Amino acid sequence: MNKNLFTYKKSGVNIKAADKFVKFISNTSSKEKGRKKFNNIGGFGSISNIPRNIKNPKIVACTDGVGTKIEIANMIKKYDTIGIDLVAMSVNDLIVQGAKPLFFLDYISINKIELPKLKSILKGILKGCQMSDCDLVGGETAEMPGTYEKGKFDIAGFAVGVVEEKKILHKNKIKNGDLILAVPSSGLHSNGYSLIRHLLRGKKININKNKFLKTELIRPTKIYVKEVLKLIDKKLLNSCANITGGGLEDNIKRIIPDNHCAEIDLREVRLLEIFKWLRKNNIKDEEMLKTFNCGVGFCLIINKKNLKKISKYFSRTFEPYVIGKISKGPKKVKLHGKFNWF
């Protein structure tokens, strides 16, 4: 063999390893039971059915990633939960429009194909799809030596859903006097990790030696799909918001119609321990509010007459509670009071 020959493998791209991963994806996803679907993994495109029981279907599409939470995964060598995060970040956006997730695609770019790592991520993605009642229909895995350092990678996800036109959650469904309900988060979800990593470096904290942080920083994002779709089906929901980057204020204002105001009482927010830990470690309230969900992963806006009908669709851990109301006014969000940290 001529050692002077230039090959793709010598450049750092291993096609055989990539093919093994594609085969693993195909074999793993085909084991999902109870689904009528086309087997598209490894093909040039993905084909899916639009549900026949929807008279006037509208397609909704979302894309997102998990940010620098991947660096936490690298620190503790745990990769399955960020697969769940990846699905959650997109499907939780889909349901804000009233859409039911249909299918999901992923994109993984990595320095070098590492099958154990990729398989773990993929298992998490499949679990997230199962929790969202949607199909993983394809994706792309790009081996990119020279772009990523050794051991580094990034992931992105793409979700497509469908909604009956008359069930779209438009802003005009929000009315004066409606209640704003907080649905608890599971923790940090997938936002604010650059700030967290900055804090860890500054305080020289090794999360592998801190059981609390090791658990909380990798805890997967709560997926709200099934609960919210039930509320929509029962006509109990006027609108909703996924609380991600930008926190409560920035995300709520995206759904508030003109001349209406979301009045939120911060004293009512039930703060989780991880946010109390962050606050104790020199992050001010203002920074907490605009960076993290602070324990509110999702918000529901409902007619007050429906309040007692909501809780039965949620587990006790994620039972919604009132944090505010809709009023008339030029400012879309007003925050009252302060968090009760202690």
Cα torsion through 326, 177, 169, 55, rounded to 10:
180
pLDDT for res 14: 73
The mean predicted confidence, pLDDT, of the chain is 91
- As beta bridge partners, residue 148 has 145
What's the confidence (pLDDT) of residue 312?
A: 95
Using the predicted structure, report yes or no on whether residue 270 has a pLDDT greater than 50. Answer: yes
214 in Cβ contact with 207 (< 8 Å): yes
Query: Tell me, what's the pLDDT at 279?
Result: 96
Residue 175 pLDDT exceeds 80? yes
Burial of 75: CB neighbours in 10 Å, binned 0-12, 13-18, 19+: middle
| DSSP codes, 236-283 | --SEEEE--TTHHHHHHTTTPPTTEEEEEEGGG----HHHHHHHHTT-
**Using one digit for the tens of pLDDT, what is the confidence trace for 274-314?**
999 999 999 999 999 999 999 999 999 999 999 999 999 99
**Residue 73: which residues within 8 A CB-CB, separation 6 or more?**
79, 81, 82, 218
Say if residue 34's pLDDT is above 60.
no
pLDDT in tens, 183-233: 999 999 999 999 999 999 999 999 999 999 999 999 999 999 999 999 999
Summarize pLDDT for 104-160 with one digit per residue, the tens.
999 999 999 888 999 999 999 999 999 999 999 888 899 988 898 999 999 999 999
Token pair in block for residue 304: 């007050």
Distance CA 255, CA 264 (A): 14
- 323 has pLDDT over 50: yes
- C-alpha angle 155-161-165 in degrees, rounded to nearest 5: 150
Beta bridge partners of 296: 184
Q: Please state the φ and ψ torsions of residue 215, each to the nearest 5 degrees.
A: -80, -50
DSSP 45: S
Confidence category of residue 41, pLDDT binned at 50, 70, 90: low
Confidence of residue 48 (pLDDT cuts 50, 70, 90): confident
Domains and CATH numbers, the chain: 12-39+50-167 (3.30.1330.10), 171-187+222-336 (3.90.650.10)
Read off the pLDDT band of 31 (50, 70, 90).
low
Residues 6+ away with beta carbon under 8 Å from 252: 180, 241, 243, 262, 264, 299, 332, 333
The mean pLDDT value for 305-326 works out to 96
Average pLDDT for 230-248: 96
Q: Residues of the chain with pLDDT > 90: what percent?
A: 77
In angstroms, the first-to-last Cα distance of the chain is: 70
Mean pLDDT of 263-267: 98
The tokens 């790592």 sit on which residue? 117
Both tokens assigned to 77: 């060598």
Residue whose C-alpha is closest to residue 171's, from 260, 80, 83: 260
